[in-house]
Amino acid sequence: MKRREERDRIREMSNEDLRDEVARLKESLFRLKFKLALGEVDSVKRIREDKKSLARIQTLITQRVGAQAAQ
């Protein structure tokens, strides 16, 4: 998925959906790192993509919380 499409998809999500997505990405990263350590997976690219997606979502959550606090 392209960055713009992902960004738009993430921005349309509710806060609860974002928290669910964070939990899913953390679980996915855990499993990918475990498989990488065992030598079962060679896709470092997938780990990198998930990390970036996680950071984008966490940044959006922080921005929304900051905007609510400013009101």
Asked if residues 31 and 24 have their Cβ atoms less than 8 Å apart, the reply is no
CATH class of the domain whose range is 3-70 = mainly alpha
- Residue 70 has a pLDDT of 82
Percentage above 90 pLDDT, the chain: 62
Domain assignments of the chain as residue spans, ordered by start: 3-70
- Residue 6 has a pLDDT of 85
User: What is the number of alpha carbons within 13 Å of residue 20 lying toward its C-beta?
Assistant: 6
Q: Lowest-confidence range among 7-11, 39-43, 56-60? A: 39-43
Report residue 1's pLDDT band, with 50, 70 and 90 as the boundaries: low
What tokens appear for 34 in the block? 């475990």
Q: What is the pLDDT of residues 21-48, one digit of tens each?
A: 999 999 999 999 999 888 887 778 899 9
